[in-house]
Amino acid sequence: MTALRARLSGRIGALPLEFELEVARGTLAVVGPNGAGKTSLLLMLLGSLVPEGGRIELGDRVLFDSEAGIDVPLEDRRLGYVPQRYALFPHLSVRDNIRFALQSSGLSGSELETRARESLADLKLDAFADRRVTSLSGGEQQRVALARALSVRPHALLLDEPLAAFDIAARRETRSFLADYLQRLDLPTLVVTHDAGDARALGQQIAVLEAGRIVQCGSWAELGARPASRFVGEFLRV
Amino acid sequence: MNRDSGTRRRSGTRAELAGARAARRRQRLERGLLAGAGLVLFAFMAAPLVGLFGTASWSEFVAGLKHPLVWPALRLSLITSSASLACVVLFGTPLAWVLAPSPRGARLVETVLQLPIVIPPAVAGIALLLAFGRRSLLAALYPSGWSISFTTTAVVVAQVFVSAPFFVQAALSAFRRLDPHLLLVARSFGAHPLRVFARVGLPLAAPGLLAGALLSWARALGEFGATLMFAGNMEGKTQTLPLAIYTAMEADLRAAQSLSIVLVILALALLVGVRALLRSLETAEPR
């Protein structure tokens, strides 16, 4: 079982960032208010933002190490990335979104087509396969984004505010689908969210982020029983 | 008592009505004033077009087109402007792609690229002569006695110089409109830079690129000053449509007019094309 381990420092504007986290099995939900550094953390792990210092390991691979001068490019990190609003390719069909991912990872021919079919089936997308992604509902788009990210068999999964685009009614349904799906998925997963309810539903472990650092990490029950600070207590009571 | 207040109210209403009518008149007057001022400029702008089309009969137009200057110039214009467009698109698209994500560091480069829009074409011609002409630093690399200036290639060079900024600017804004997450996601699958460029950047920016290409082509087609200075005005060799109009003017105004009409029709078609493309771009924008 691969684990994603990271110890990172950097800054956004004047705010210093200092993170240390580990995701082995299941989902770590990183929760915090806007501006706490959630997106920066995600982009550092992904490899599009260079940390000032620290180290990122994925299983036995070192993705980043400031002292050893290692910085594996984003293209070679093998991290599944589902950004906010999913960033599906609007000019491609559902199937071609997935085929694009598989082609980019170096697959071709019948192997590619088999994998594309598997990915579509896994997220029950067969019925939409030839539709334009722009014609899909939010929940369907999210499934396409998941299928596309997972089709290339990443070693870990990063999700940025996966539920922010939904209204309250659709949110509950999508949230429980996503929670179930991620639980069955045997992959270290990191979800970034500003919503404590989402964090509770999706994360077996929850890391609370405040002003650039993780102030507490644990299960929902642990955080609720012994909040490390007033901020954590207030934030989780939402 | 009751009737009293009633009449007072009615007369009050009448005064209010008159006041409201006056206010409306005033609004109409002011609106008319603004529209009138705008109309003056519009009429002025339309007058040359009316002159160009209104003073020529069909037979005169056809006779003008038979002038010996016309077809060589038209042919040369189409060839050179197509060649310059190809250069501009081939090199301008990667340039814009590279500049697009770095708005701050690219500002100096962008300023240099935009300069040809604001400098007078005659200055551009001199600058091209000094950069690529017989007495330039590059001349040392030319075979002796040869220079790029005053050749058909020089026409293309002048056109590229003046028209590239229009394309690069349009391409830059087209690429900057792309959601950066699309590019990040593509890279996370392992897509390499050329693939991200060709399969995500190009198709999604295509309408903006096409609109820029049309604008740039129109500018190249109309190029006059820099061509005259750097390439000269030699029939069949460097005499493009605008230069042929200039030459024809001296002897045969009708031929100049016919040529001008051809150019205006081409330009109009381009303009309509660009506007249709930009409209489709706005309506096709997701979200």
pLDDT at position B158, please?
Answer: 96
Phi, psi of A154 (to 5 degrees): -70, 165
Contacts of A85 in chain B (CB under 8 A): 181
d(CA B96, CA B205): 11
d(CA B65, CA B81): 20
Whether the predicted model's global pTM rises above the 0.80 cut: yes
pLDDT at position B1, please?
Answer: 45
Q: What is the mean pLDDT of residues B201-222?
A: 93
Is residue B2's pLDDT more than 70?
Answer: no
Among A76, A83, A89, beta carbon nearest to B190: A76
pLDDT tens by residue, A166-225: 888 888 889 999 999 999 988 999 999 999 989 999 999 999 998 898 999 999 999 888
Please say whether the dihedral angle defined by the alpha carbons of residues A120, A124, A127 and A133, taken in this order, is positive or negative. negative
pLDDT tens by residue, A76-127: 999 999 999 999 999 999 999 999 999 999 999 999 999 999 999 999 999 9
Are B236 and B76 in contact, with CB atoms under 8 Å apart? yes
The two tokens of residue A170 are 């659709």
Quick one: pLDDT band at residue B108, thresholds 50, 70, 90?
confident
Domains of chain A: residue spans and CATH: 1-78+155-238 (3.40.50.300), 87-153 (no CATH)
Among A81, A91, A102, beta carbon nearest to B188: A81
* DSSP summary character for residue A34: T
Among B185, B186, B286, beta carbon nearest to A90: B286
Are B274 and B211 in contact, with CB atoms under 8 Å apart? yes
Higher pLDDT, A192 or B101: A192
Q: What is the mean pLDDT of residues A35-64?
A: 93
- Chain B residue with minimum CA distance to A152: B189
In the predicted model, what is the mean pLDDT of chain B? Answer: 89
Counting Cα atoms < 13 Å in the Cβ hemisphere of B170 gives: 24
Does residue A132 belong to the interface with chain B, where contact is any CB pair within 8 Å?
no
Distance from CA of B95 to the nearest CA of A (A): 21
d(CA A108, CA A36): 42
pLDDT at position B11, please?
Answer: 58
Q: What is the mean pLDDT of residues B220-224?
A: 94
Are A152 and A80 in contact, with CB atoms under 8 Å apart? yes
d(CA B164, CA B215): 10
| Three-state DSSP state, A166 | coil
Provide the angle, in degrees to the nearest 10, between the axes of the packed helices A168-184 and A138-151.
20
Does residue B283 belong to the interface with chain A, where contact is any CB pair within 8 Å?
no
Among A76, A78, A134, beta carbon nearest to B286: A134
B189–A46: do the CB atoms touch at under 8 Å? no
- Chain B residue with minimum CA distance to A132: B286
Q: Which residues in chain A (2-31) have CB-CB distances under 8 A to chain B?
A: none
B188–A91: do the CB atoms touch at under 8 Å? no
* DSSP summary character for residue A77: S
Distance from CA of A155 to the nearest CA of B (A): 12
- Let me know the angle formed at the C-alpha of A118 by A112 and A120, rounded to the nearest 5 degrees: 100
Does residue A162 belong to the interface with chain B, where contact is any CB pair within 8 Å?
no
Does residue B178 belong to the interface with chain A, where contact is any CB pair within 8 Å?
no
Question: Which residue of B177, B178, B188, B196 is the best one to mutate when testing the A interface, meaning the one whose CB has the most A CBs within 10 A?
Answer: B188
d(CA A97, CA B125): 49
ipTM attached to this prediction = 0.93
Task: Indicate the pairing of strand A53-58 with strand A70-71.
Answer: unpaired
The two tokens of residue A204 are 């077996």
Region of B252 please: left (phi>0), alpha (psi -120 to 50) or beta.
beta
Q: What is the mean pLDDT of residues B41-59?
A: 92
Distance from CA of B92 to the nearest CA of A (A): 23
- Chain B residue with minimum CA distance to A101: B189
Comparing CA positions, the residue from A134, A74, A84 lying closest to residue A104 is A74
- Chain B residue with minimum CA distance to A48: B184
pLDDT tens by residue, A124-169: 999 999 999 999 999 999 999 999 999 999 999 999 999 988 888 8
Quick one: pLDDT band at residue B9, thresholds 50, 70, 90?
low
In the predicted model, what is the mean pLDDT of chain A? Answer: 92
Are A119 and A147 in contact, with CB atoms under 8 Å apart? yes
List, in order, residues 6 or more apart from B94 with CB less than 8 Å away. B197
| Three-state DSSP state, A49 | coil
pLDDT at position B262, please?
Answer: 87
Q: Please give the single-letter amino acid code of residue B133.
A: G
* DSSP summary character for residue B200: I
Distance from CA of B205 to the nearest CA of A (A): 11
- Decide: residue B28, CB within 10 A, 0-12 exposed, 13-18 middle, 19+ buried: exposed
* DSSP summary character for residue B9: H
Are A83 and A91 in contact, with CB atoms under 8 Å apart? no
The two tokens of residue A1 are 């079982």
Q: What is the mean pLDDT of residues B105-112?
A: 83
Are A50 and A212 in contact, with CB atoms under 8 Å apart? no
Does residue A84 belong to the interface with chain B, where contact is any CB pair within 8 Å?
yes
| Three-state DSSP state, A108 | coil
Contacts of B185 in chain A (CB under 8 A): 81, 83, 87, 148-149
pLDDT at position B47, please?
Answer: 95
Q: What is the mean pLDDT of residues B127-134?
A: 92
